[in-house]
Chains A and B, each alone.
Chain A
Amino acid sequence: MLTAWLYVGIFLVVAVLLPAVAIALAGILAPKKSNPIKTSVYECGIEVVGPARVQIKAQYYIYAMVFLVFDVEMVLLFPWAVAFKQLPLFAVFEGILFLLILLGGLFYAWRKGALEWF
């Protein structure tokens, strides 16, 4: 079990080192000559329009909140799904009831227009 995690750890170290080495090498080797065009903000190659620090929409917050709720739902449903094969029919319906209650929340979000991007 722990050796399986060891591979994940090695993978993580390599994943951090690869870009770190590339960026550090570029920083050491690259000539440090600056001009206004070079230091300007990069925005997909086109010229920058407006300030970068704009107020984002509150819509993002609702999206993140709804996502968080369904993420927590995943935590509770995952063990249920793992044990699915051994469950009696009654217990399967318990899980479905759990889903149906949350579906009510989703319908509320839908009706209130939280899923629309206005």
Chain B
Amino acid sequence: MSAFQIVFLLIALLTLFSALMVVFARKTIHSAFWLILALFGVAATFATLAASFFVVIQVAVYIGAIAILIIFTVMLTRRSMEESGDQLLPGWGWAALVVLIVFGGLVFMLLQWQGIFQPPQVLTAGGENLENLGMALVMPDRYVIPFEVASVLLVAAMIGAIYVAGDHKKRS
């Protein structure tokens, strides 16, 4: 086993363990902190694949913005959220069954693929070409419509959030 594989296994274990702790932690705020560690593990996995842009996105967007948003939400609702009580929902057996079926299906699908037993292809210096991605996003014959629609979607999300969270009594 090479050093690279050991590093990968450590990262995978860290990610899976923190993902489990997100579910099993008693306090919601602890779950949020474990979630940050799990997202960080995914970022490290991207790093082992030499996908730098995805590492930056993972850290900046998922850890920097979404995890903070979740922590703010926990802090907002902490008073009304019950932290005691049973952690198992009544229908957990069915959920476990569905999870097992989906997991088995994914493993089966991945085993069909030839590349599963081969080491990941190492990208050359220009392999992860951000310039190509940038060109593709704005060229008229490529993805310019999804690019602009993404902007509209972001504006819609922002307006919706401000409308929902805004103080309606004050202005009416």
A residues whose Cβ falls under 8 Å from a Cβ of B:
1-2, 5, 8-9, 53, 55-56, 58, 60-62, 64-69, 71-76, 78-84, 86-87, 90-92, 94-95, 97-98, 101-102, 104-105, 108-109, 112-114
Contact = CB atoms under 8 A, between A and B. Distances in A.
B17 to A, nearest CB: 16
Interface stretch (B20-28, B62-70, B88-96, B108-116): B62-70
Contact of B72 (A60, A78, A86, A92): A60
11 contacts: A2-B122, A55-B76, A58-B167, A69-B155, A72-B65, A79-B137, A80-B138, A83-B132, A83-B135, A94-B138, A97-B151
Contacts of A78: 53, 56, 130, 134
A13 to B, nearest CB: 11
Contact of B60 (A61, A74, A97, A98): A74
Indicate the size class of the contact surface on chain B: 35 or more
A5 B133 CA distance: 22
B155 A102 contact: yes
Given A53-B79, A69-B158, 10 more contacts: A8-B47, A55-B78, A65-B69, A79-B131, A83-B132, A87-B138, A90-B140, A91-B139, A105-B155, A112-B166
A116 B160 CA distance: 18
Interface of B: 4, 7, 44, 47-48, 50, 52-53, 56-57, 60-61, 64-66, 68-69, 72-73, 75-76, 78-79, 122-123, 125, 130-135, 137-140, 144, 147-148, 150-152, 154-155, 157-159, 161-163, 165-167
